[in-house]
């Protein structure tokens, strides 16, 4: 028997109990053999080095789980530059007078690990490995053990448990994974997603690699798709335009206020009178201004703007120029009208008739003139030179 731990040489706990315990965790005393150039004891107790049995030691064990999260029917994706960095946790093993064994886990920051974290990453289901800690690390390791022990002692004191004795320290090497998943369309890289986390957490499903976030819609998801215009997005962010049948981003669609259909914004026309957007084939065209307006809003073929009774000052532009462009306009008065950026409609009356002038703006070019005689409903178009 080569086991010479100070912990087990003392009266209690017994050497037999310690060996039993080693067997319980899948180790034998051969794992405690001194190894030249490596740390094999710390604080007078044996130092073990182990890995969680479930922790991946090779990228290939992880790649399937990571890549399995994504779908990209229009392209392909692969793992690029994935590393599995072993990072240590410290486990202190103590027994009380009756031989009852208790473990405490600590991170490199000296903080005790939560029980849920220990269970999740399998820090209590361990497999021995070749020694990694060089003798030069002994001082730092001793410091880590001291910090851990002082925490254990205050914990025991607070819980009124009996004195416990350190019998072994274990370094549990856990794999921290970092890498990039690269998405291609043909040979062109269309997206890179970086991930990092405990490799064990990716395997046990606690963590997933990041979803793709669509730049335009902000939607996130794992089912990627490429739109006809080359936009990379997620299937969840897409919808079909009811007018064209084209699959596009749902956020590019707008509702027709008449039919409720969701269509690409370019298919809709805004009614200048009511401000609502709708499919133009449902709209009606005003006989004077030629604008498309909400169905049912025309009277006598004219929109409400063209029917305006709003008086205008014809001594100023553009009204003055419009009157000057049509010589017979002198006979008319009581001018009303409206204008926007592209055109102006001016209407005047005299005893026998009414006249309406339409000019394009901003150049104030007279385009059309209509006239109707008193007590007539229909307007007739006059020739403009």
Residues 6+ apart with CB under 8 A from 26: 126, 127, 128
Nearer of residues 95 and 358 to Zn ion, judged by Cβ: 358
Q: Taking a C-beta distance cutoff of 8 angstroms, is the pair 248, 238 a contact?
A: yes
Smallest distance, Å, CB 218 to Zn ion? 40
Minimum CB distance to Zn ion, residue 273 (Å): 9
Contact with Zn ion (CB under 5 A) among 51, 133, 303, 344: 303
**Nearer to Zn ion by C-beta: 126 or 302?**
302
Does residue 286 bind Zn ion (CB under 5 A)? Answer: yes
The H-or-E segment that residue 320 falls in is: helix 319-325
Place of tokens 């910090």: 147
51 interacts with Zn ion by CB under 5 A: no
Query: How many chain residues touch Zn ion (CB under 5 A)?
Result: 5
Q: Which residue is nearest to Zn ion (CB)?
A: 286
**Helix ranges restricted to H, 78-137:** 115-120
User: Site for Zn ion (CB under 5 A): which residue of 306, 312, 329, 357?
Assistant: 306
CA 289 to chain centre: 47
Q: Answer yes or no whether residue 292 interacts with Zn ion by CB under 5 A.
A: no
Specify the stretch interacting with Zn ion by CB under 5 A; choose among 77-85, 116-124, 280-288, 349-357. Answer: 280-288
CB of residue 266 vs Zn ion: minimum separation in angstroms?
Answer: 23
Candidates 118, 152, 289, 292; binder of Zn ion (CB under 5 A) is: 289
Distance between CA atoms of residues 301 and 308, nearest Å: 14
Closest to Zn ion by CB, 306 vs 355, is 306
Give long-range contacts, CB 8 A cutoff, 24+ apart: 123-126.
Answer: 123/52, 123/89, 123/91, 123/172, 123/174, 125/52, 125/53, 125/54, 126/25, 126/26, 126/27, 126/50, 126/51, 126/52, 126/53, 126/170, 126/172
**Exposed/middle/buried for residue 256 (C-beta within 10 Å: 0-12, 13-18, 19+):** buried
Tell me: does residue 271 bind Zn ion (CB under 5 A).
Answer: no
CB of residue 195 vs Zn ion: minimum separation in angstroms? 59
Asked if 263 is part of the footprint of Zn ion (rule: CB under 5 A), the reply reads: no
Task: Look at residue 197 and give its three-state secondary structure.
Answer: strand
Taking the least distance from each CB to Zn ion, the nearer of 193 and 289 is 289
Q: Which is nearer to Zn ion, 172 or 289 (CB)?
A: 289
Residues of this chain that interact with Zn ion (CB under 5 A) are 286, 288-289, 303, 306
């Amino acid at each position: 028997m080569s086991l010479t731990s100070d912990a087990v040489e003392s009266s209690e706990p017994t050497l037999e109990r310690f060996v039993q315990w080693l067997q319980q965790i899948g180790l034998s005393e051969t794992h405690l053999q001194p190894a030249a150039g490596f740390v094999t004891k710390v604080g007078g107790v044996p130092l073990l080095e182990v890995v969680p049995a479930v922790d991946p030691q090779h990228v290939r064990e992880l790649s399937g789980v990571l890549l399995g999260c994504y779908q990209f029917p229009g392209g392909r994706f692969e793992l690029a530059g994935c590393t599995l960095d072993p990072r240590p946790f410290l486990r202190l093993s103590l027994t009380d007078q009756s031989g009852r064994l208790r473990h405490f886990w600590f991170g490199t920051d000296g903080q005790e690990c939560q029980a849920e974290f220990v269970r999740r990453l399998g820090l209590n289901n361990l497999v021995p490995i070749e020694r990694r800690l060089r003798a030069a690390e002994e001082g730092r390791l001793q410091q880590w053990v001291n910090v851990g022990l002082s925490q254990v002692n205050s914990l025991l004191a607070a819980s009124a448990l009996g004195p416990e004795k350190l019998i072994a320290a274990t370094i549990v090497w856990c794999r921290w994974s970092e890498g990039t998943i690269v998405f291609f369309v043909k040979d062109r890289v269309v997206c890179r997603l970086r991930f990092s986390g405990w490799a064990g957490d990716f395997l046990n499903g606690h963590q997933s690699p990041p979803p793709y976030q669509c730049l335009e819609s902000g939607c996130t998801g794992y089912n990627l798709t490429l739109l006809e215009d080359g936009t990379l997005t997620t299937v969840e962010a897409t919808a079909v335009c009811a007018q064209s049948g084209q699959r596009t981003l749902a956020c590019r669609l707008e509702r027709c206020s008449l039919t409720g259909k969701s269509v690409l914004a370019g298919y809709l026309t805004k009614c200048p009178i009511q401000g609502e957007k709708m499919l133009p084939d449902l709209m009606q065209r005003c006989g004077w201004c030629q604008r498309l307006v909400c169905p049912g809003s025309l009277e006598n073929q004219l929109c409400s703007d063209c029917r305006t009774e709003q008086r205008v000052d014809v001594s100023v532009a553009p009204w003055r120029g419009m009157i000057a462009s049509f010589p017979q306009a002198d006979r008319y008065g009581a001018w009303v009208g409206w204008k926007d950026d592209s055109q102006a409609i001016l209407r005047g009356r005299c005893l026998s008739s009414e006249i309406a002038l339409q000019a394009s703006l901003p150049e104030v070019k007279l385009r059309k003139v209509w006239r109707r005689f008193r007590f007539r409903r229909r307007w007739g178009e006059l020739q403009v030179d």
